[in-house]
Copies of this chain bind each other. A is one copy, B any other.
Amino acid sequence: MDVGILGATGVVGQQFIRLLDGHPWFRVTWLAASERSEGRTYAEAASWRLATPMPAWAASMPVQQAAANGAPRLLFSSLDAAVAGDIEGAFAAAGHVVVSNARNYRMEADVPLLVPEINADHLALIERQREARGWAGAIVTNPNCSTVFLAMALAPLRPFGIERVIVSTMQAVSGAGYPGVASLDIVGNVVPYIGGEEEKIERETLKILGRAGAAGVEPLAAAVSAQTTRVPVLDGHTESVSVGLREQVDVAAIREALASWRGEPQERGLPSAPPAPIVVLDAPDRPQPRLDADRDRGMAVTVGRLRRCPVLSWKFVVLGHNTVRGAAGAAILNAELMVARGLLNGS
């Protein structure tokens, strides 16, 4: 299936290129970026920041204007939020299915905010979206990077009654794009502020874990509090989490719930699905971004240091690869799920 990438030159766009190189289902045939890049090849337009070389097919591909003519039906978007709203909407109206990493539509009542292992059923919102908006296409979103990992660590705990969550993040610089964080700000330093990030974590988590119904998604009835910081790490967001549960359970039950958790991507054997969405690490000093962010090609989330919390019920550390499972890989898994469910059949 031919696919295109909106916002192909940025840090997440580059991960799309890398992850789709040799993908068994998808073939990238179309790249778009800002006007600045138009008329140049991808090699000319992109400041490639990945340790694996740019695939040759991408290097020579022309970068298009972000307009609908000639674009394939399925589009991945890592557009900047400043422009994603209009552009993604225009493509959806024109019949394209936009699988987006941008924040603009995430909290819309008729837009799935998807983590396939958690809420594949939220795809039902697409019908509502098409009716409400008159779109021939659709928009499906993945969450903010930090939110993905938190939501995945919480999802297996839903049976125990999640009531309260406090999370403190230590986020990698690749999450801010390129050039993003100035080195003078972060070498040997911690910056305890990432604009808008805490609000996203607090709101998106509850929608993801919520119940999709006729009126949109009823968010999980819980409270989430986030503090976010930037640290001098390249890839991988680390999060210290405390969670308050309604049920009394023992540590073995929590550990088993996390480690045995599987979702539709695993059942369907989607190409980008990790064997287990959550890998529980028992070494006392794990997970660590340098050692664990790439687990299962960056698609698994690692959890460690599971222990009782003297204030809420349990505490643990969760880690994920922010530009893979937290961005490009998340969108690709979303698209794979949609293909597997037949949502991209027909015209």
- From A56-64, A97-105, A176-184, A267-275, give the one contacting chain B: A176-184
CA distance A190 to B240 in the complex (A): 12
Within 8 A of B (CB), among A174-207: 174, 178-193, 202
A-B contact pairs, 22 of them (CB 8 A): A52-B294, A164-B311, A166-B311, A170-B170, A173-B183, A174-B184, A179-B179, A179-B182, A179-B184, A183-B186, A186-B187, A187-B233, A188-B290, A190-B233, A191-B288, A192-B286, A192-B288, A192-B304, A193-B286, A231-B232, A232-B232, A234-B290
Name the one of B189, B202, B292 contacting A290, with C-beta atoms under 8 angstroms. B189
Residue A310, interface by CB 8 Å: yes
CA distance A184 to B185 in the complex (A): 12
Q: Which residues of chain B are near A312, meaning CB under 8 Å?
A: 166, 225
Name the one of B53, B227, B240 contacting A192, with C-beta atoms under 8 angstroms. B240
Per the CB 8 Å criterion, the residue count for chain A at the interface is 63
Q: Which residues of chain B are near A294, meaning CB under 8 Å?
A: 51-52
Nearest-neighbour CB distance to chain B for A32, whole angstroms, equals 22
Q: Which residues of chain B are near A181, meaning CB under 8 Å?
A: 182-184
CA distance A295 to B51 in the complex (A): 8
Interface string of A111-144 (1 = CB under 8 A from B): 0000000000000000000000000000000000
Considering only CB atoms, which chain B residue lies closest to A186 in the complex? B183
Q: Is the CB of A309 within 8 A of B225?
A: yes
